[in-house]
Structure 1
Amino acid sequence: MSKLFRHTALAALVGVASGDLLAADYKKNPFTLAYDGAITKNEPGKVNIRPVSYKLNGLDIAANVYIPANYDPKGHYPTIVVAHPNGGVKEQVAGLYAQRLAEVGYLTITADAAYQGASGGEPRSVDKPAYRIEDIHGMADFITRYDGADSTRLGLLGICGGGGYSLAAAETDKRFKAVATVSMFNSGRVRRNGYVDSQLDSVQVRLQQASAARAQEVAGGAVMYSGDANLSDEQIAKLPFDLYRQGYEYYWKTHAHPNSTFKYTTSSLIDLMRFDATDQIALIQQPLLMIAGTKADSLYMTEDAFTKATGTKDKELFKLDGATHIETYWVPKYVSAAIDKLNTFYTRTL
């Protein structure tokens, strides 16, 4: 199947022009943003983007701040921290949601996780829950001191893996007055049990592999990686889950970015496999909104976390009818519905 046919066929499925899909090419955007409708230049009276960097635990963190139209640095804007998916970067879906929220009046920030994207840290592509959670605290540290930010009206939005880590961050960081997730992915559960709990019989084998990988790193050997693959279209089509099939399409083709990668250090599994996004979730007493598609094969994770979030009396599970996991990242009608719901939620709670 040719690349042009793939784009055209995919566009037909979601009812948008193929040219709109191709417009997500990061090479055509001066800020390397990889989503449709992305800012191409900063103009007075419109939403602007400001690339920033700051230190977090000695590492340089690369972030983008989105400021509302007619921004006044002496103003007091409700402010949202946006955490990106596993393998994603700030220029993809996290940037899209950050920009769309800025368009309705919020000051927003999204940053590349430490050891990932354009942020510092060696070895590359470490994916440890403690680091990802600290990234969220770090974004809050930075943005609450930004001109115009109202630190008393700070919200949190986590997408996919960033959603699971956002739940964990909000358990104890009460600077966040409201918490929302889109297509929440419980990284620990999936790395431990497999997607849809499909690898329960190999947990101990994979723990042995992770332990061996750490030992090799400590001894000065090569860093081992998991999740890295170079699949053909035919192999992708045979993957058992929509999340993986559509994820490859999104991350490798329609919304690819050179800083985005599926791989992570195998030794990270030592930390990932003992983590669960629902551990101590009852500590969340803030208002909670969880958004997921009705056709998402990841929906079970959102429903499980929502049920276990017993510490808040203000919670809602909002389902996007007909959406799969990846479609909530970019399909216009689903993104718009999610943004409308998020705006209503944050307006009420912040």
Structure 2
Amino acid sequence: MESVTFKNKSLDVAADIYFPAGFDPARTYPAIVSAHPIGSCKEQTSGNVYGTKLADEGYVVLAFDATYQGDSGGEPRWIEDPGPRVEDFRCAVDYLVTLDYVDEDRIGVLGICGGGGYAVNAALTERRFKAVGTVTGVNFGRMMREGDLSPDAAITTLDAIAKQRTAEARGAEPRVDSSLPDSPEQADELGVTALDVLEATKYYRTPRGQQPNGATKSLFSHMGPAVGWDAFHLAEHLLTQPLQIIVGGIPGEFGAYRDGFDLFNRARSQQKDILVVPGQSHYDLYWKPEATEAALAALVPFYNKYL
């Protein structure tokens, strides 16, 4: 593995490249861009699980930190804005095509959770991606609009964002939200019952998946663009690449299960498949061996066929 940086305009994007065994820089290899979940980082599931395993199967894998997050550049920190997030993917391809050992005609993309929604959205207009994979992919814009599921949830959220942004423009302290309890014990004390929140806490707040940059933080005043964004917008017109969708058979509150079927139904791709992994949840697909092995059992032959 090698740590590198590439540019998204003036910002440095930090990434890790995972290499196949016996890597020979004189040869050319297919490559996959691997994108982390929202609030995550390249050292978690996109890199240390899927990046490692796909490299074992002969792929050069580039796992990157989103701009404004992790080891990547950008101020203020913890911005979750679909615009730069999607541009990161295009810049990742720009970097890969400068590497003599990458076959520019065999580049694919993989996104996990919110990274799956971003990967799809990037592939709509980035034709250098020849195959698209998602693991428990989530349409982050849909999540932001639903909020508390009331009819005016999106408007209420936007009003709050506007008020906070005005306050910060006048010198108030930035509001940085943490989306999870500090520990599973705190989740119990708070009476948290939502499956995805409980499992996220066990992943991000314990040695199971904990990493310094996997902070699950967001700058609230900059969340407005996400509310008006749809990861799958125009998928019925522009998404023609082969598509492999993977979701867990235990649906959670974050909506990956229904987003997977929504994407499957909307995508124009002629070669598309959705795999439901029985008995596994959203977060099982981040780390649990039987869940990730089932996902990889679909992803590897998919990428082998189309890359």
Question: TM tier, shorter chain?
Answer: over 0.9
The 8 Å contact of residues 183 and 201 in structure 2, kept in 1 or not, is answered as no
Please report the TM-score for the alignment, with normalisation by the length of structure 2.
Answer: 0.93
Q: Does 1:281 align with 2:242?
A: no
Shift of 1:202: 3.0
Shift of 1:125: 0.2
Residues 48-94 of structure 1: CA deviation (Å, up to 9, x unaligned): x0011122211111110011111111211111000110000000000
Aligned residues: 299
Alignment correspondent of 1:212: 163
Residues 278-315 of structure 1: CA deviation (Å, up to 9, x unaligned): 21112100101100111132311111121111x11110
Measure, in 2, the Cα distance between the counterparts of 1:87 and 1:289. Answer: 23
Measure, in 1, the Cα distance between the counterparts of 2:228 and 2:178. Answer: 18
Shift of 1:135: 1.1
Report matched runs for 1:126-275 at 5 Å. Answer: 126-194=79-147, 198-231=149-182, 233-237=184-188, 238-253=191-206, 254-275=208-229
Measure, in 1, the Cα distance between the counterparts of 2:181 and 2:299. Answer: 36
Report matched runs for 1:57-136 at 5 Å. Answer: 57-95=9-47, 96-136=49-89
Measure, in 2, the Cα distance between the counterparts of 1:233 and 1:80. Answer: 34
Give the counterpart letter for 2:197 in structure 1.
Y
Residues 116-158 of structure 1: CA deviation (Å, up to 9, x unaligned): 0011111110000111101111111112222311110010101
Identity, % of aligned positions:
37
Please report the TM-score for the alignment, with normalisation by the length of structure 1.
Answer: 0.82
Cα RMSD over matched residues?
1.5
The 8 Å contact of residues 181 and 201 in structure 2, kept in 1 or not, is answered as no
Give the counterpart letter for 1:90 in structure 2.
K
Give the counterpart letter for 2:29 in structure 1.
Y
Residues 184-239 of structure 1: CA deviation (Å, up to 9, x unaligned): 01111111113xx7354432221111112222333343222234454453552432
Farther off after superposition, 103-112 or 290-299: 290-299
The 8 Å contact of residues 188 and 276 in structure 1, kept in 2 or not, is answered as yes
Gaps of 5+ in 2: none
The 8 Å contact of residues 210 and 270 in structure 1, kept in 2 or not, is answered as yes
Aligned partner (choices 276, 291, 302) of residue 246 of structure 2: 291
Farther off after superposition, 338-347 or 208-217: 208-217
Gaps of 5+ in 1: 1-48
SS in 2 for 1:188: helix
SS in 2 for 1:294: strand
